[in-house]
Amino acid sequence: MQAEDMESSMESPNLEFEYGDSDMLTAELSELYSYTEEPEFALNRDYFEEDFRSHARGRRWTELTVDEQRTYVMRLLDALEVTDRDKRLKVARAILYLAQGVFDECDTEVDVLHWSRHNIFLLYDMGIFTALLELLSMEIDNSQACSSAVRKPAISLADSTELRVLLSIMYLMVETVRVQTEDDRPEWRAARETFKNELGSPLYNGEPFALLLFTMVTKFCSMNAPHFPMKKVLLLLWKTVLFTLGGFEELQQMKVGARERLSLPPLPEDSIKVVRAMRAASPPASAMELIEQQQQQKRGRRSRRPLVKQDSLDTYNERDPFKNDDSRDEEDDPEDTDSGIEGEVDPLDRDVIIQPPPPPPPLRPPTERVNFPKGLPWAPKVREKDIEHFLETSRNKFIGFTLGNDTETLVGLPRPIHESVKTLKQHKYVSVSEIQIKREEDLLQCPLSLGEEEVEETPAEILYVGMLPSLSQYVIALLKLLLAAAPTSKAKTDSINILADVLPEEMPITVLQSMKLGIDVNRHKEIIVKAISALLLLLLKHLKLNHIYQFEIVSQHLVFANCIPLILKFFNQNIMSYISAKNSICVLDFPHCVVHEMPELTAESLEAGDNNQFCWRNLFSCINLLRILNKLTKWKHSRTMMLVVFKSAPILKRALKVKQAMMQLYVLKLLKIQTKYLGRQWRKSNMKTMSAIYQKVRHRLNDDWAYGNDIDARPWDFQAEECALRESIEKFNSRRYDKNKNGDFAPVDNCLQSVLGQRVELPEDFHYSYEMWLEREVFSQPIQWEGLLQNP
């Protein structure tokens, strides 16, 4: 395995990957369908043409005027109302064919996407989505289908046909409307905003659409509906949340707007742009690589040059690392030699400075890297409590007493301390979260004088209010699915079967069919991981901006459901092979498979896979999971210690072999927060990693992450820290969302008649069993009437 790791490290090139909210539209559409669903494309077309032929009299769909197309869609909409289940399914398949772009009338993939877009906006305008939603609710509540699926020993595609058709149309509508293009008509742009508001508002049965999908997830994970096509549900849930709440760039704009409203200074930089401009570092060398390098050095093929002394950290910063003006030399010390791509030595990973080596031939145009900032990429930040802690330590040392939270009085402190405080204040950063926490403390202390808080009904707020009663169930269900789909998970008898919407009715009989199904199953799992990781990250980021305690409650549910060890378990594999996995068959991907002639598949062509350097969805998933882990552990001492206890350092260090700047950044962040607890020996033997952390991760001016003072190695009480946090969360939830809030101050009704005359809402099932309830709770209970006469 060491040899395998060494080989992958030696050969790993820079990955030209651009992180975003999602992949290209064609990739996102193709991932909706399993390869075993391929015969259904023709089925959809046949049902459409069978019905359309009688209506259009020899004409094609693309030849009709818009009014004629509207008339036909209205006819389909009426046909969806029929009671016959089979007829309804045929009509739904015809609608799905329209949403897929009437591919039989198209010659190219571009044509398919064009007509798909045109048809979907037409379908939305005619009210198809609302009709589909009613059908979906009926299918979810179909107890007969659920009970027959529970009894079945093996569930296949056939058990979820209706659900898959409905979810596919809804996904195509959400994803196509969500993605904006330059040539969109004005009415389409207006429709996009309307659809976005509808999905995010509690219009569907008094709750947002995402909540219905969350209910499907929990129902599936509780084994009550094992036939639900979970991949499609998760993809639709992710895209719905992405559409209604907004992607990462919209989130950045919302963050800027929130800071302006709170009169906070602007952000020091745009984090999305900084990360995009970053350059990947070469991975730290493994033991096998060092031995190999030592042997090469003994052959003495090259003359050496003395090292340049590192007088200051600016030595590197003053040079442009991308200039191709110097020939490369090797180092004497094998400990400090790094083997990246083609023996490249990356100056970011050295604890001594040499002349910068030439870069490898760029895979992208070099113009993209010209504006890379010289020096460190991030402006340093300091929190208010860091300044307070610094002054408290200084006053204890020089004066002998402290002044609490006073950060202004510097009397009696020496001049260098004045300069330090000035520098710290220059880089002071106040986050939106700190303002929210302070505001919450004030509202709890002075509930009457500050009055009612005005809560803005943002899409994130509406979603949180809907999720709150069953939040822990939703989180546990998502993590169960993530565990079942993780490549490191072993198949267990009690684990959830997530393959209900990929396994065919008849299992494969030839080797080729088995290979195809194997690829399909692996691809299916990868897509589930992608959807869950993106969904969790979006929820955490949006809720954190909306209110810090909403973020904290989701984080705490994730931590209590063992999310931290689960993500570490996910990364405890050969991550390079996961990222370069070729679990896709290009010729079977939609829309390619419906436009082009299908070539004959062979075992060799399936093994070869595609020509891509990496798998976009797997790299996307890895970055998302690392970002989630960062969100959970940031500023949480007890959770950071969990990383140490679970021995995450070697797992994370292996992930640095992936030469992609954004992924390396989040790995280095996770290593930075735990370096002080890993011991001096670890830091000494991992100087390249320490150097990379210095170069790439933001600095907190008085954070001694690289040294580890005794004060920071304090004992940790996981339970006490989490309980204190839970108490703050519960106070926030009861103050803001409890129906009976301010119970101590609410007026009391003392009139017997009005109290007895109040109408009490009773559940429906109570009407059927109230006689039993009376017998059990009233007639059979002995009542001590004399107790009422005695003084209390």
The tens digit of pLDDT for each residue in 529-555 reads 999 999 999 999 999 999 999 999 999
548 Cβ neighbours under 8 A, 6+ residues apart: 432, 433, 436, 437
pLDDT at residue 751 tops 50? yes
Highest mean pLDDT out of 114-128, 152-166, 196-210, 364-378: 114-128
**pLDDT class of 326 with cuts at 50, 70, 90:** very low
145 Cβ neighbours under 8 A, 6+ residues apart: 139, 159, 227
What pLDDT sits at residue 473? Answer: 96
What pLDDT sits at residue 4? Answer: 45
What pLDDT sits at residue 287? Answer: 58
Range(s) of the domain holding residue 404: 384-428
How many domains, the chain? 1
247 Cβ neighbours under 8 A, 6+ residues apart: 20, 21
Supply the mean pLDDT for the chain.
Answer: 83
Phi, psi of 85 (to 5 degrees): -60, -40
Class of residue 375 by CB neighbours under 10 A (exposed 0-12, middle 13-18, buried 19+): exposed
Say which residue, 778 or 722, is predicted with more confidence.
722
pLDDT at residue 451 tops 80? no
Which two structure tokens, joined as six digits, stand for 432?
């939106």
pLDDT at residue 586 tops 60? yes
400: left (phi over 0), alpha (psi -120 to 50) or beta: left
Say which residue, 507 or 6, is predicted with more confidence.
507
pLDDT at residue 292 tops 90? no
Which two structure tokens, joined as six digits, stand for 72?
């036909």
**pLDDT class of 297 with cuts at 50, 70, 90:** low
What pLDDT sits at residue 142? Answer: 86
Neighbours of 446 (CB within 10 A): 10
Phi, psi of 700 (to 5 degrees): -105, 120
What pLDDT sits at residue 710? Answer: 44
Highest mean pLDDT out of 1-15, 387-401, 755-769: 387-401
pLDDT at residue 357 tops 60? no
Q: What counts of helices (H) and strands (E) characterise the chain?
A: 38, 0
Neighbours of 286 (CB within 10 A): 19
**Which alpha helices (H) appear in 547-588, and where do they start and end?**
548-560, 563-571, 575-579
Phi, psi of 169 (to 5 degrees): -60, -45
The tens digit of pLDDT for each residue in 239-254 reads 999 999 999 999 999 9
What pLDDT sits at residue 452? Answer: 79
**pLDDT class of 578 with cuts at 50, 70, 90:** very high
pLDDT at residue 318 tops 70? no
Side chain identity at 521, as an amino acid letter?
A: V
Choose the weakest-confidence range: 61-70, 334-343, 617-626: 334-343
Mean pLDDT of 98-126: 94
What pLDDT sits at residue 12? Answer: 59
Say which residue, 345 or 35, is predicted with more confidence.
35
Which two structure tokens, joined as six digits, stand for 40?
């259904």
Phi, psi of 353 (to 5 degrees): -100, 130
What pLDDT sits at residue 286? Answer: 62
**Rounded Cα distance, 41 and 55, in Å:** 21
**Rounded Cα distance, 478 and 685, in Å:** 38
Strand partners, 382: 428
Q: How far is it between the farthest Cα atoms of the chain? A: 106
pLDDT at residue 317 tops 70? no
**Residue 364, in any domain of the structure:** no
**pLDDT class of 290 with cuts at 50, 70, 90:** low
What pLDDT sits at residue 574? Answer: 93
What pLDDT sits at residue 320? Answer: 37
E strand map for 57-208: none
715 Cβ neighbours under 8 A, 6+ residues apart: none
Give the SS3 label for residue 497. coil
**Rounded Cα distance, 5 and 227, in Å:** 40
What pLDDT sits at residue 505? Answer: 84
pLDDT at residue 431 tops 90? yes
**Residue 407, in any domain of the structure:** yes
What pLDDT sits at residue 319? Answer: 37
What pLDDT sits at residue 411? Answer: 85
What pLDDT sits at residue 679? Answer: 86
pLDDT at residue 28 tops 50? yes
pLDDT at residue 367 tops 50? no
The tens digit of pLDDT for each residue in 372-409 reads 446 789 999 999 999 999 999 898 888 888 887 888 88
**pLDDT class of 359 with cuts at 50, 70, 90:** very low
**Residue 415, in any domain of the structure:** yes
Mean pLDDT of 755-780: 80
Mean pLDDT of 64-91: 91
pLDDT at residue 508 tops 90? no
**Rounded Cα distance, 394 and 402, in Å:** 9
pLDDT at residue 237 tops 70? yes
pLDDT at residue 511 tops 60? yes
Mean pLDDT of 758-783: 80
**Rounded Cα distance, 746 and 758, in Å:** 17
**Residue 73, in any domain of the structure:** no
Q: Which of 620, 629, 696 is nearest to 664 (CA)?
A: 696
**Residue 148, in any domain of the structure:** no
709: left (phi over 0), alpha (psi -120 to 50) or beta: beta
**Residue 247, in any domain of the structure:** no
Give the SS3 label for residue 377. coil
**Residue 420, in any domain of the structure:** yes
pLDDT at residue 299 tops 90? no
What pLDDT sits at residue 597? Answer: 81
pLDDT at residue 303 tops 80? no
**pLDDT class of 70 with cuts at 50, 70, 90:** very high
What pLDDT sits at residue 16? Answer: 86
**Residue 390, in any domain of the structure:** yes
Secondary structure of 666-707 in HEC code, one letter for each residue: HHHHHHHCCHHHCCHHHHHHCHHHHHHHHHHCCCECCCCCCC
Mean pLDDT of 187-212: 91
